[in-house]
C-alpha cells in the first residue's frame, strides 16, 4: 500500500502547477498591500525610537513586513500577476518630527499584529497550493511570535493591561434562568468570561486606535480627511466609553487611554493616502472583532451594543472609501469576470 507521504507530495506537486484560486489570490493581494502599509509606518517609527528594547522590536517587525512583501512579489511575478502599488516611499517623510512616544510603538504593533493575524489565521483552511500554504503558515507563526514578544515587552515595562481576573468556578453549573439572556430590564446576570475578554480586547484596540487618530488628525492636510479623522476619534471614544461602562458595572477594570503618548507635532510624517488607507484597514478589523464578540455573547444589551458599533463602522468606512475613490487612491482588488460586460462587448463587435 502506498504511504501517505508520497500521496501528499504528489498532491502538492499537482496543486503547485495550478493557478492561484480566488482565496489565495485575494489573501496574498490584501497581505501585500497591508504589509506595504506596515513597512511605511514602521520605517518612520524606526527613525524616532530611542529605547533599545523597543527599537529592536520595531526593526524586527519592519524586516518581517519586508520579507512578506518580497515573498508575495515572487509569487505574483511567477504567476505574471501585476504587483499592487500599495504604499510607497513617497508616502512617508522619515525626516518629520516625532509624532508618538516610544511606548506607543509597542501598543501600535500589538494592535497591527492582531489585525494581521486575523487575516492569516482565517486564510489557513483556504490555502491549497503548497507554496502559498507554507507562506501563510509562516506569516501566522511569525505574527504569533511577534505578539508574544510584544506582550513580554509591555509586561516588562509595566504598561501591559491584563484582562480582568474573575474567580475560578467551584462546580459545574447549568443555565436554568431565562434572564441569562436579558440585559436591558429586570435582573441582569454578571458578565461571563468570554464577554469580559472581548470587551477588554475592544477597549485595548480602541484606545490605540483613538491615539493614532489623534495623531493623524493633527497632521492631515486634506480637510475632508482631517474631518474624517476627528469624526473617527469621537466615534472610537464613544465605543470605548460603552465597553468600559459594561466592565465597570461589573466592578471590573479597563484599559486607560493612550492619548498622552501623542506628541503635539503638526508636520505630517505620512501622506493623507497612507493615513486614510490605514484607518480603513483598521476599522475593517473592528468589524471582524465585533462580529466575533457578538458570536460568543449571551446578553441582549451587549449584542445590541455591538450591532450599533457595526452600523457606526460600516457608515464610517463607506465615507472613508468614497474619499479614497474620489482622490484616486483606492486600488481595486482582483475580481471575477463581469459576464454582462463581456456580453455587451461581444454585441459591439458584431
Provide the CATH number for the domain around residue 249.
1.20.1260.10
Residues in the chain, pLDDT under 70: 1-17, 349-350
pLDDT attached to residue 4: 38
DSSP state of 157: T
- Residue 164 in domain: no
- Residue 163 in domain: no
Total domains in the fold of the chain: 2
- 223-248 and 272-295 helices, crossing angle to 10°: 30
> Residues 112, 185: one domain?
no
> Residues 147, 82: one domain?
yes
> Residues 208, 259: one domain?
yes
Question: Can you spell out the DSSP letters for 30-53?
Answer: HHHHHHHHHHHHHHHHTTS---HH
pLDDT attached to residue 182: 83
- Residue 58 in domain: yes
Note the pLDDT tens digit of each residue in 221-253.
Answer: 999 999 999 999 999 999 999 999 999 999 999
pLDDT attached to residue 10: 55
Q: How far apart are CA 47 and CA 165, in angstroms?
A: 38
Q: List the beta bridge partners of residue 262.
A: 100
- Residue 336 in domain: no
> Residues 32, 144: one domain?
yes
Q: How far apart are CA 298 and CA 244, in angstroms?
A: 18
Q: How far apart are CA 113 and CA 61, in angstroms?
A: 9
> Residues 117, 225: one domain?
no
pLDDT attached to residue 11: 56
> Residues 184, 321: one domain?
yes
> Residues 98, 237: one domain?
no
> Residues 144, 249: one domain?
no
Q: What residue numbers bound the domain in which 205 lies?
A: 178-326
> Residues 135, 252: one domain?
no
Q: How far apart are CA 97 and CA 48, in angstroms?
A: 8
> Residues 242, 113: one domain?
no
- Residue 292 in domain: yes
Identify the domain boundary among 90, 121, 156.
Answer: 156
The span from the first CA to the last CA of the chain, in angstroms, equals 58
Q: Tell me if the pTM is above 0.85.
A: yes
> Residues 232, 305: one domain?
yes
pLDDT attached to residue 9: 59
pLDDT attached to residue 349: 67
Residue 105 · residue 60 · CB < 8 Å = no
- Residue 342 in domain: no
- Residue 272 in domain: yes
> Residues 184, 316: one domain?
yes
Amino acid at each position: 500500500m502506498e504511504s501517505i507521504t508520497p500521496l501528499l507530495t504528489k498532491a502538492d506537486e499537482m496543486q503547485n502547477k495550478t493557478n492561484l484560486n480566488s482565496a489565495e489570490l485575494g489573501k496574498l493581494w490584501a497581505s501585500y498591500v497591508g504589509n506595504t502599509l506596515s513597512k511605511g509606518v514602521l520605517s518612520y517609527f524606526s527613525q524616532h525610537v530611542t529605547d533599545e528594547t523597543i527599537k529592536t522590536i520595531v526593526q524586527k517587525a519592519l524586516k518581517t513586513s519586508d520579507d512578506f512583501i518580497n515573498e508575495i512579489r515572487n509569487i505574483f511575478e511567477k504567476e505574471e500577476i501585476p504587483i499592487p502599488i500599495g504604499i510607497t516611499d513617497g508616502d512617508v517623510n522619515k525626516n518629520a518630527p516625532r509624532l508618538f512616544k516610544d511606548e506607543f510603538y509597542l501598543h501600535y504593533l500589538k494592535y497591527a499584529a492582531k489585525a494581521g493575524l486575523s487575516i492569516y489565521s482565517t486564510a489557513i483552511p483556504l490555502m491549497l497550493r503548497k507554496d502559498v500554504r507554507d507562506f501563510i503558515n509562516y506569516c501566522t507563526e511569525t505574527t504569533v511570535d511577534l505578539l508574544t514578544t510584544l506582550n513580554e515587552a509591555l509586561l516588562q515595562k509595566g504598561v501591559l493591561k491584563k484582562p480582568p481576573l474573575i474567580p475560578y468556578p467551584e462546580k459545574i453549573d447549568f443555565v436554568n434562568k431565562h434572564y441569562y439572556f436579558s440585559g436591558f430590564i429586570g435582573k441582569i446576570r454578571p458578565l461571563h468570561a468570554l464577554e469580559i475578554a472581548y470587551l477588554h480586547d475592544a477597549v485595548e484596540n480602541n484606545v490605540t486606535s483613538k491615539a493614532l487618530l489623534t495623531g493623524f488628525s493633527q497632521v492631515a492636510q486634506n480637510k475632508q480627511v482631517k474631518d474624517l479623522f476627528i469624526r473617527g476619534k469621537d466615534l472610537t471614544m464613544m465605543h470605548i466609553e460603552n465597553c468600559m461602562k459594561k466592565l465597570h458595572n461589573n466592578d471590573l477594570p479597563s484599559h486607560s487611554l493612550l492619548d498622552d503618548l501623542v506628541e503635539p507635532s503638526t508636520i505630517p510624517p505620512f501622506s493623507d493616502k497612507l493615513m486614510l488607507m490605514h484607518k480603513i484597514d483598521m476599522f475593517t478589523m473592528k468589524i471582524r472583532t465585533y462580529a466575533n464578540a457578538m458570536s460568543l455573547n449571551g446578553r441582549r444589551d451587549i449584542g445590541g451594543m455591538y450591532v450599533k458599533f457595526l452600523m457606526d463602522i460600516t457608515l464610517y468606512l463607506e465615507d472613508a472609501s468614497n474619499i479614497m475613490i474620489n482622490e484616486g487612491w483606492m486600488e481595486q482588488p482582483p475580481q471575477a469576470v463581469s459576464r454582462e460586460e463581456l456580453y455587451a462587448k461581444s454585441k459591439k463587435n458584431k
